[in-house]
Amino acid sequence: MSDSSNTLPKFDVFLSFRGLDTRRNFISFLYRELIRRNIRTFKDDKELKNGRRISPELIRAIEGSRFAVVVVSVNYAASRWCLEELVKIMDFENMGSLKVMPIFYGVDPCHVRRQIGEVAEQFKKHEGREDHEKVLSWRQALTNLASISGDCSWKWEDDSKMVEEITDRISKELMIDTTRSNGSDLEGIDAHMKALHRLLNLNSKKSVRVIGIWARGGNGRSALAKFVYQNICQHFESHCFLESVKRISQDRHLSHLHEEFMIRIQGECLSKLRLKNQKVLLVADDVNKLEQLDALAEDFNCFGPGSIVIITTQDRQLLISAGIKLVYEVELLRFQKVRGLFRQLAFKEKDISAAFEVSLYRATNVAMEWLGCICGRSG
């Protein structure tokens, strides 16, 4: 790859669609939800004119994305722009640098894969005015796309539910990729989410709930907080993810935290006064001083009913000193997960004796007691 790769635009999702069919409905809803969840999304609103090639900028946008969501609608295959774009997308997919998610919107995936019915008629027109090799590449790209398992709009009651499912899936995949690249281990993310949902209580109409996510080191707590944020922010009128509070406030007056919060908050909020009547989600990541919490409290104490503030830290005492009682301990669940996995692997062999199983059980219990002592807890 050339040096220009360093300046590639970095997107989480590249949207490929036929504007005539979906720009003002499905794509509009999907794009808004992706942006709402802080998922960086590329959406090109231009159409390729006859005789023109896809711009290098567009190719770089595809190459710089982690996912390509390809929405195949009634007139998708009629557009040389869409087909040219699809060839590039499938090239990168074939190289393993891009994950493709097909969505069949108002069309039968079987018709797309076999290129029959209306799709056949569209390709007949292409063959009458385009180079044979080019049309062949379009056909192959469309066949390859339709061979990937995707979503079909006919299986959903309405677009909003399909959009929610798609964004949930992308959010989860992105978080798994992020934790792997950061060297973090968040295996059992579903178990984490299930436990956290009990603390979050999204249906609550009571005053602001402050929840701590604690772990000693690594990126686990931050990755988990980001994943939670992306998955629940749509339930709030306004929301903000403050990355690395420790870094933001370093060598600066604590009032800078308030300024950063007001800059980064997304949604309908325009002023501190309006926050009083709003349901707000605030995630303050990597807090390391009680003074930082006090500075943020000036903002979140005025949030409306049902609001949630999530604080991540590696300092358990900080949460205790702040009087935060709802605390999720990432490391404890991770250790229990490892313990369960170890036992599962150890006893996969049928000829292991019951005596060894008992010994292993005792050994893991000793390890749990040891961890409990370090954490200041009983075994």
Indicate the Cα dihedral angle 126, 127, 128, 134, nearest 10°. Answer: 80
pLDDT tens across 5-15, in order? 444 448 899 99
Please report the pLDDT score of residue 377 as a whole number.
Answer: 44
Domains 13-170 and 201-334 share a fold: yes
The encoded tokens of residue 113 equal 């894969």
Which one of 274-283, 290-299, 356-365 scores highest in mean pLDDT? 290-299
Range with the poorest average pLDDT among 196-205, 247-256, 357-366? 357-366
The encoded tokens of residue 93 equal 């997919």
Domain regions of the chain by residue span: 13-170, 201-334
- DSSP bridge partners of 267: 238
Which candidate in 85, 260, 329, 331 is catalytic? 85
Please report the pLDDT score of residue 150 as a whole number.
Answer: 92
Please report the pLDDT score of residue 272 as a whole number.
Answer: 56
- Report how far residue 84's alpha carbon sits from residue 137's, in angstroms, rounded to the nearest whole number: 9
Q: Is 85 a catalytic residue?
A: yes
Please report the pLDDT score of residue 181 as a whole number.
Answer: 52
Per DSSP, the chain holds a count of helices (H) and strands (E) of 17, 11
pLDDT tens across 301-314, in order? 888 899 999 999 99
Please report the pLDDT score of residue 227 as a whole number.
Answer: 81
Please report the pLDDT score of residue 179 as a whole number.
Answer: 53
pLDDT tens across 337-371, in order? 544 444 444 444 444 444 444 444 455 454 544 45
Mean pLDDT of 54-71: 90
Q: How confident is the model at residue 180 (pLDDT cuts 50, 70, 90)?
A: low
- Report how far residue 69's alpha carbon sits from residue 15's, in angstroms, rounded to the nearest whole number: 5
Please state which CATH number belongs to domain 13-170.
3.40.50.10140
Mean pLDDT of 240-246: 86
Q: How confident is the model at residue 197 (pLDDT cuts 50, 70, 90)?
A: confident
pLDDT of 88 above 70: yes
Task: Return mean pLDDT, the chain.
Answer: 79
More confident residue, 92 or 221: 92
Please report the pLDDT score of residue 344 as a whole number.
Answer: 46
pLDDT tens across 98-127, in order? 999 999 999 999 999 999 999 999 999 999
More confident residue, 220 or 66: 66
Q: How confident is the model at residue 49 (pLDDT cuts 50, 70, 90)?
A: very low
Mean pLDDT of 194-202: 86
Please report the pLDDT score of residue 335 as a whole number.
Answer: 47
Mean pLDDT of 18-37: 91
* Percent of the chain surpassing pLDDT 70: 74
Q: Does domain 201-334 have CATH number 3.90.550.10?
A: no
* Phi-psi group of 197: left, alpha or beta (phi > 0 → left; psi -120 to 50 → alpha; rest → beta): alpha
The answer to whether the beta carbons of residues 21 and 118 sit under 8 Å apart is no
- Report how far residue 69's alpha carbon sits from residue 57's, in angstroms, rounded to the nearest whole number: 18
The answer to whether the beta carbons of residues 118 and 74 sit under 8 Å apart is yes
- Report how far residue 356's alpha carbon sits from residue 358's, in angstroms, rounded to the nearest whole number: 5
More confident residue, 169 or 191: 169
More confident residue, 246 or 111: 111
More confident residue, 214 or 233: 214
Q: How confident is the model at residue 28 (pLDDT cuts 50, 70, 90)?
A: very high
